[in-house]
Amino acid sequence: MTELGPGAWPPAPIRTERLVLREPEARDRAAVIELFASPEVGTYLGGPRPRDELEREIPGAPSRRPGRFMVDLDGAVIGQITLYRETGHLRQAAGKAELGYLFLPEAWGCGYATEACAAALDWFADACPGEPVVLATQTANVRSMRLAAKLGFIEAERFEAYGAEQWFGMWSPGALSD
Ligand SMILES: CC(C)(COP(=O)(O)OP(=O)(O)OC[C@H]1O[C@@H](n2cnc3c(N)ncnc32)[C@H](O)[C@@H]1OP(=O)(O)O)[C@@H](O)C(=O)NCCC(=O)NCCS
């Protein structure tokens, strides 16, 4: 794994009680396009992307990259989780691993995001021992704020960016609160 640390990438698929976290495959294309084209998913992320643009940008299997997990429920993708090393959009996060999550609206309200993110953080704690993870989300994104708290992220600061108040949180191994 080049971007996150010395651990092996890709890991074997990660199984939770209800989900599997795995690398993208060709059959995930439609779900990934839907994730980025959904107005509900994009509400606090600068809006949805045009579907035709996405169709062109993702001609086959969604791209594989260390830290990118598809979240699979019974063989179909319901969301994605990323743990990328932050390169520039946030000064506070520079060089740190940043957690990102997007789930299809029909999968909200079932605890899937909590279950999948907790497993991804567990994996990260093993792959990059002792390293913190950061997270930025709009404070208006209530579901995301609740998820961050459940995962054990602690507020580091709030700031204005992209015309909205942003919440910046930090997670350390052992902080999972359930
Ligand atoms: C942010 C996001 C992932 C949160 O999704 P979510 O489904 O609310 O998150 P959770 O997995 O924590 O689910 C919690 C809900 O499931 C319910 N739930 C049902 N069954 C459950 C179970 N077995 N275990 C846990 N919770 C369960 C909880 O009671 C809670 O319900 P509530 O919303 O009525 O309070 C989702 O809204 C999303 O993808 N948003 C768009 C993308 C986005 O804004 N990302 C932020 C990037 S910074």
**Residue 146 is assigned to a structural domain of this protein:** no
Residue 135 lies in a domain: no
Predicted TM-score (pTM) of this structure: 0.94
Angle between helices 142-151 and 112-127 (to 10 degrees): 50
Q: Are 120 and 79 in contact (CB under 8 A)?
A: no
Residue 5 lies in a domain: no
Is 140 a domain residue? no
- Total structural domains in the chain? 1
Q: For residue 174, what pLDDT is reported?
A: 72
105 within a domain of the structure (yes/no)? yes
pLDDT score for 89: 67
Domain enclosing residue 90, as ranges: 14-130
Domain harbouring 82, CATH code: 3.40.630.30
Q: Which atom of ligand 1 is nearest to the CA of 45?
A: 44
Q: What is the pLDDT of residue 53?
A: 98
156 occurs within a structural domain:
no
Q: What is the mean pLDDT of each run of 10 residues along the chain (178 residues)?
A: 65 97 97 98 96 97 96 98 82 86 98 98 94 96 98 96 93 69
Question: What's the CA-to-centroid distance between 6 and ligand 1, angstroms?
Answer: 31
Q: What is the pLDDT of residue 95?
A: 87
The per-residue pLDDT for 92 is 73
- Interacting residues of 38 by C-beta distance below 8 A, sequence separation 6+: 48, 104, 105
**Residues in contact with ligand 1 (CB, 6 Å cut-off):** 41, 44-45, 100-103, 108-114, 137, 141, 143-144, 147, 150
Inside any domain, residue 90: yes
What pLDDT score was predicted for residue 175?
58
Mutational pocket test of ligand 1: of 36, 134, 144, 153, the residue with most ligand atoms within 8 Å of the beta carbon:
144
Asked if residue 70 belongs to a domain, the reply is yes
The pLDDT value given to residue 94: 80
